[in-house]
Amino acid sequence: MLGGMQATTAIPEIEFQDVSYRVAGTQVLSGFNLQVQSGETLVLLGRSGSGKTTLLKLVNRLLTPSSGDIRVKGLSNAKADVIGLRRSIGYVIQDVGLFPHFTVERNIGLVPRIGGWPEDRIRARVQELLQLVGLAADLASRYPHQLSGGQRQRVGVARALAADPEILLMDEPFGALDPLTRDELQREFLALQQRLHKTVVFVTHDLREALRLGTRIALMEAGRLVTVLTPREFLQSSDPLASAYVRAFGEGLESAANRGTS
């Protein structure tokens, strides 16, 4: 929980070492190096097809790199037990992927349940998480199709947090939401992150979101890392791609950057 305080430890929470990923003759990632520090929110920013999602899936080994190594807490994840690795990492995707035949309670409690937690502890944990993500306790018995898009993604976040993982991978989690709900969830994410200090890798193509939520922003293009900058640095960057992003998003970015780092 105090991950943010332990920035002095030299071992990064997640480390990409010269990672390449190739599939069916297409080079999706090449020579990718990046370190994610404990307790930070690292945003992967880039256009569609730049390799952001692939990078995320390499962390929990939904994909295996063609070459290079990914270390989680200093351990190569090629050597880790895949199932255990995945259970120790929260995963949130844009389409949420709630189990339609499970109630909210069973969706959120799934990882604790397969991890063998006792029933009463699971129930207590589910209630705690519903509160944490701003959902009413009586939603626990509903099914996903009875929820709004925003509620569904809140459940998705609660489910990812269920077994209290230190790392959270979020793949455009708010991308499919309407602007108001997105704004609400972004604000809640910031509040949540101030309490929990998870190590978050967050994929988006929305610069405003990146500036607002990110501790640092890793800018990607065509499977390569262009640069890693803090939100403030990003706005002043002379990097052509970064400044192209800033121009494309126009006015009012300053306030987003300030909110994110405050």
Partner 1 sequence: MNVFRYIWQNQGQVLELTLEHLRLVGFSTLFAMLAGIPLGIVIARRPRWNKPVLASANIIQTIPSLALFGFLLPVPWLGERSERLAILALTLYALLPIIRNTYTGIRGVDPAVVEAGRGMGLTESQLLFQVELPLAVSVILSGVRVAVVISVGLATIAAAIGAGGLGEFIFRGLAMVDNRVILAGAIPAAVLALTADFGVGWLERRMQTR
Q: Could you give the string, one character per residue 100-139, with x where binding to partner 1 holds by CB under 8 A and - elsewhere?
A: xx--------xx--x-------------------------
Name which of 168 and 211 has its Cβ closer to partner 1: 168
DSSP for the chain, please give it: --GGGGTTSSS-SEEEEEEEEEETTEEEEEEEEEEE-TT-EEEEE--TTSSHHHHHHHHTTSS--SEEEEEETTEETTTS-HHHHHHTEEEEETT----TTS-HHHHHTHHHHHTT--HHHHHHHHHHHHHHTT--GGGGG--GGGS-HHHHHHHHHHHHHTT--SEEEEESTTTTS-HHHHHHHHHHHHHHHHHH--EEEEEES-HHHHHHH-SEEEEEETTEEEEEE-HHHHHH---HHHHHHHHHH-TTHHHHHHHHH-
Q: Is 179 one of the binding residues for partner 1 (CB under 8 A)?
A: no
Q: Is 96 one of the binding residues for partner 1 (CB under 8 A)?
A: yes
Whole-number minimum distance, CB 146 to partner 1, in Å?
A: 11
Q: What's the one-letter identity of residue 166?
A: E
Whole-number minimum distance, CB 159 to partner 1, in Å?
A: 7
Q: Is 75 one of the binding residues for partner 1 (CB under 8 A)?
A: no
* Token code pair at residue 153: 């993604």
Whole-number minimum distance, CB 101 to partner 1, in Å?
A: 4
CA angle 163/191/218 to nearest 5° reads 85
Whole-number minimum distance, CB 31 to partner 1, in Å?
A: 26
Name which of 57 and 142 has its Cβ closer to partner 1: 57
Query: Residue count at the site for partner 1 (CB under 8 A)?
Result: 26
Q: Is 152 one of the binding residues for partner 1 (CB under 8 A)?
A: no
Name which of 87 and 142 has its Cβ closer to partner 1: 87
Whole-number minimum distance, CB 107 to partner 1, in Å?
A: 9
User: Which residue stretch of 1-9, 43-51, 82-90, 223-231 sits at the interface with partner 1 (rule: CB under 8 A)?
Assistant: 82-90
**Which member of 83, 124, 136, 191 binds partner 1 (CB under 8 A)?**
83
Q: What's the one-letter identity of residue 5?
A: M
Q: Is 63 one of the binding residues for partner 1 (CB under 8 A)?
A: no
Whole-number minimum distance, CB 95 to partner 1, in Å?
A: 4
Q: Interface residues with partner 1 (CB under 8 A)?
A: 57, 60, 62, 83-88, 91, 93, 95-101, 110-111, 114, 145, 156, 159-160, 169
